[in-house]
Amino acid sequence: DTGVSQDPRHKITKRGQNVTFRCDPISEHNRLYWYRQTLGQGPEFLTYFQNEAQLEKSRLLSDRFSAERPKGSFSTLEIQRTEQGDSAMYLCASSLAARGRFEQYFGPGTRLTVT
């Protein structure tokens, strides 16, 4: 397995457009996390899935944001009506939920620029 992958790596969009990002986790990992990182800051938690169930959403995730993991494998994060404040790096990570196993593996991120 080649690790966590994200697509696209870079996205430039105009304000008001919708964008969708994809994350493919490590194949046997049942947990998938989305984080957002703005320039010069540490990442912030957005949401996470265990299999196909979305178990938690951050207050950062406004109603313009939606995430899915329909078959418990890959996940998509959609942002509707993008705003300049959405410009950030969107990071995906996956892990295997098991007793004593907490390590998360990160993808390369999708850098979003809203003009």
Which residues in this chain contact another protein in the complex, by CB under 8 A?
31, 33, 35, 37, 41-45, 48, 50, 55-56, 89, 91, 93, 95, 97, 102-106, 108-109, 111
Q: Which is nearer to another protein, 72 or 108 (CB)?
A: 108
Token duo for residue 93: 């990570």
Locus of tokens 């969009």: 13
Phi, psi angle pair for 55, to nearest 5°? -95, -25
Smallest distance from the beta carbon of 16 to another protein, in angstroms? 25
Nearest to 43 by CA among 113, 111, 101, 98: 111
Smallest distance from the beta carbon of 101 to another protein, in angstroms? 9
Q: Which is nearer to another protein, 21 or 35 (CB)?
A: 35
Query: Cis ω on the peptide bond leading into residue 8 (within 30° of 0)?
Result: yes
